[in-house]
Structure 1
Amino acid sequence: MTFSVAVAGASGYAGGELLRLLAGHPDFEIRTVTANSNSGQRLVDVQPHLRSLAHLTLSDTTPESLTGHDVVFLALPHGKSGELTSHLSAETLVVDCGADHRLESEDDWAGFYGGDYYGAWAYGVPELPVIGGKQRANLVDARRIAAPGCNASTVSLSLAPGIRAGVIEPTDLSAVLAVGPSGAGKSLKLPYLAGEILGSANPYAVGGMHRHIPEIQQALRWAGATSPTISFTPVIVPMSRGILATTTARITPGTSPADVRAAWERAYADEPFVHLLPEGHFPRTADVLGANTALIGLAVDEAVGRVVVVTAVDNLAKGTAGAAIQSANIALGLAETTGLSLNGVAP
């Protein structure tokens, strides 16, 4: 069976990555692509790397243009997806790559985003350890899915195995991320211009201000933490795409280094896209470029009683579009790996 697909926000970075991956998916047929200011233009003039989709023209992002498809992917700024989703059929699988449906807490939404609250959908990180198993069980037959924030899923995948196994403490968590500016979207903003970031590393949203913090805390509560606290600091670095997250946590008293590593080994031993590297090995962002993989390196700093987890993902692939398609595969009963690559692009 072939599923008809519409992609809203197809002119942006996330929309372009969705289309790149969907173009190679054997069970999806891309029929409609939409945009706002670029409406009326040929897709290939806006996304010139998508040569196989040169026949498509961008239409307006309206409920009418999205209606009638089996699957709708939304790659829109926060606050824009929620305005559309109530108009779409309950039978349509809708996957939101924006923030509108990630948070269960309306207070968290008000505190970090603001504006109308549209409710939480099934969270699209299948590998996430949660009480009772993995998050993928909540995606089976789902018709409304919230793809994750790229920073949030990277940190959550880094910490959740330790939380679930009880080998790390859920407070005094720390995460520092080197991130590419494509995560901020395609609109022109001064901090993300080449002249501002080339040759420089620029921290932002410092001191508990980043919008992905409540999303991380929510995921860690699902993993078993009661009141997780985390210091989260992202740093823009001069690479177009990628995240390298260095996350640390206190080891629970009486836990050995072998016990710590075993928790992550058990969590991800059978996962197709999340891989724990051998002891002493750590990933680079270059290793996951264009792939739907998360690579994790782990070390125990016995001198300070902390575990150090280094995780690399492509923020546009595994961090956004890949997670969205992987989750859609599960919801539709397809093989989870369909249309998604383990292999990155090098050099």
Structure 2
Amino acid sequence: MTYSVAVAGASGYAGGELLRLLAGHPEFEVRTVTGHSSAGRPLIESQPHLRSLAHLTLQATTPEVLDGHDIVFFALPHGASGELTAQLTNVRLAVDCGADHRLTSSADWAKFYGGEHHEAWTYGVPELIVAANGAASSLTKQRDALIGATRIAAPGCNASTVAMSLAPGIAAGVIEATDIVSVLAVGPSGAGKAAKTHLLGAELMGTANPYAVGGTHRHIPEIQQALRGAGASEEPTISFTPVLVPMSRGILATSTAKLVPGTTAAEVRAAWEAAYADEAFVHVLPEGVFPRTADTLGANTCLIGIAVDEAVGRVIVVAALDNLAKGTAGAAIQSANIALGLPEITGLSVDGVAP
């Protein structure tokens, strides 16, 4: 069966990555692409690398244009998709790559985003550990909730990187959920395609720029929500600092957490290896080996390295992924595959691009 697909926000970075992956998907056919200021113009003007989709023209992003497709992927700025999704009446599966349907707490939404809070959809991180009813002794994966889903919230790229980094340790009871520290090197493509002075090449080349410092980043409540779901016995607390670095795409997240007293380094490694042993897209690297963002570019993979700093009693988890691929578009398509009963890996690759 071939599913008809529309992509809203097709002129942006996330929309372009969705289209790149969808173009190679054997079961999905992209029939409609929409934009805002670019409506009426050929898609190829906005996405000149997508030669196989050169026949498409960007249309206006309206419910009337999007309705009637089997699948609609939304790659719109935060706060823009909620109103649209509420007006869809004939769409089998909607997948939102923005934040509008991620948070279950209206208070968190009001604090970090503002505006109307929309219903939370099924979270699109299949590999994320979930503790049934909050009990760490009864663990499943988020993919179980995605089976048959009709509305999916793709994750924030930083949030899913940190959540996948730490959930195994929390679920296994080898790290504490309080006093977590995460520092991320991130590429500016995660901020979208809109022209902003601080994202100009002249402002980024040769420098590293921290932003959203001091607990203000919008992905913090999403991380806490995921870690609560993984069975945290206490309310998760995290000091989260992203740093823009001069690479177009990629995330390298270094997260540290307190080691539960009496836990050995072997038990720590065993927790992560057990959590991801059967996963196609999340790979725990051998002891002493840590990931590079370069090895994930264009791939739907998250690579994880683990160490224990016994001198300070902390676990260090270093995770790398492509923020546009596994962090956004890849997670959205992977989740859609599961929802529709397709093989999870369909249209997605573990192979990156090098050099």
TM-score using structure 2 length? 0.97
Q: Quick check: 1:208 aligned with 2:215?
A: yes
The alignment status of 1:41 with 2:41, answered yes or no, reads yes
**How far apart, in 2, do the equivalents of 1:172 and 1:82 lie?**
33
In the alignment, which of 139, 142, 154 is matched to residue 147 of structure 1? 154
State the partner residue of 1:221. 228
Amino acid at match of 2:208: A
Question: Does 2:8 align with 1:8?
Answer: yes
Q: Which runs of 5+ in 1 are unaligned?
A: none
Q: 2:277 aligns with which of 269, 278, 289?
A: 269
- Conserved 8 A contact 1:2-1:28: yes
Q: Which amino acid aligns with 1:58?
A: L
Q: 2:83 is aligned with what amino acid?
A: E
Q: Runs (4+) of structure 1 moved beyond 6 Å? A: none
SS at match of 2:195: coil
Alignment deviations for residues 221-272 of structure 1 (CA, whole Å, 9 cap, x no partner): 0001130000000000000000000000010011111000100000000000
SS at match of 1:328: helix
Unaligned runs of 5+ in 2: 132-138
CA contact 2:78–2:100 (8 Å) conserved in 1: yes
- Indicate the residue corresponding to 2:330 in structure 1: 322
Q: Say what the alpha-carbon RMSD is for the aligned residues.
A: 0.6
Contact 1:293 1:342 in 2 (8 A): yes
Q: Within 1, Cα distance between the matches of 2:184 and 2:190?
A: 12
Instruction: Measure the CA separation in 2 of the matches of 1:89 and 1:319.
Output: 28
Query: What secondary structure does 1:109 align onto?
Result: helix
Match 1:177 to one of 180, 184, 187: 184
Q: Which residue of 2 aligns with 1:258?
A: 266
2:200 pairs with 1:193: yes
C-alpha displacement at 1:86, in angstroms?
1.0
Pair 1:249-2:291 in alignment: no
Kept after mapping to 2: 8 A contact 1:288/1:343: yes
Q: List per-residue Cα deviations over 1:259-312 (Å, max 9, x = no partner).
A: 001000000000000000000100000000000000000011111111100000
Local SS of the residue matching 1:114: coil
Correspondence for 2:310: 302
Q: Deviations over 1:140-173 (max 9, x none)?
A: 0000000000000000000000000000000000
Structure-2 separation of matches of 1:176 and 1:228? 16
Match of 1:112 in 2: 112
Deviations 1:97-141 (A, max 9, x none): 000000000000000000011110000000001113100001000
1:93 maps to amino acid: L
Residue identity matched to 1:318:
K
1:128 aligns with 2:128: yes
Native 8 Å contact 1:90 1:143 kept in 2: no
1:332 is matched with which residue? 340
User: Per-residue deviation at 1:78?
Assistant: 0.8
1:91 deviates by 5.0
Question: Per-residue CA shift, 1:5-35, capped at 9, x if unaligned?
Answer: 0000000000000000000000000000000
User: Which one-letter code corresponds to 2:341 in the other structure?
Assistant: G
Q: Deviations over 1:195-238 (max 9, x none)?
A: 11100000000000000000000000000113000000000000
Are the aligned partners of 2:17 and 2:324 in contact in 1 as well (CA < 8 Å)? yes
- Checking the alignment, whether the CA contact within 8 Å between 2:69 and 2:90 is kept in structure 1 is no
Q: CA deviation at 1:89?
A: 2.5
Give the aligned partner of residue 135 of structure 2. none
Between the aligned partners of 2:177 and 2:46, the Cα distance in structure 1 is: 44
SS of equivalent residue, structure 1 residue 297: strand
CA distance in 1, matches of 2:305, 2:90: 41
Distance in 2 of aligned mates of 1:78 and 1:240: 21
Is 1:60 the counterpart of 2:60? The answer is yes
> 1:313–1:319: 8 Å Cα contact kept in structure 2?
yes
Partner of 1:19: 19
The question of whether the paired residues in 1 share the 8 Å contact of 2:98 and 2:153 is answered with yes
SS at 2:37's partner residue? coil
Matched, 1:238 2:246: yes
Query: 2:134 is matched with which residue?
Result: none
SS of equivalent to 1:88 = coil
Aligned-partner SS, 2:33: strand
Measure the CA separation in 1 of the matches of 2:69 and 2:193: 26
Report the secondary structure of 2:283's partner residue.
strand
Mapped partners of 2:199, 2:114: distance in 1: 23
Aligned to 2:294: 286
C-alpha contact 1:201 1:236 (8 A) present in aligned 2: yes
Q: Is the 8 A contact 1:164 1:224 kept in 2?
A: yes
Q: Where does 1:155-170 land on structure 2 (aligned, <5 Å)?
A: 155-170=162-177
User: What is the DSSP-based 3-state SS (H/G/I as helix, E as strand, rest coil) of the residue aligned with 2:115?
Assistant: coil
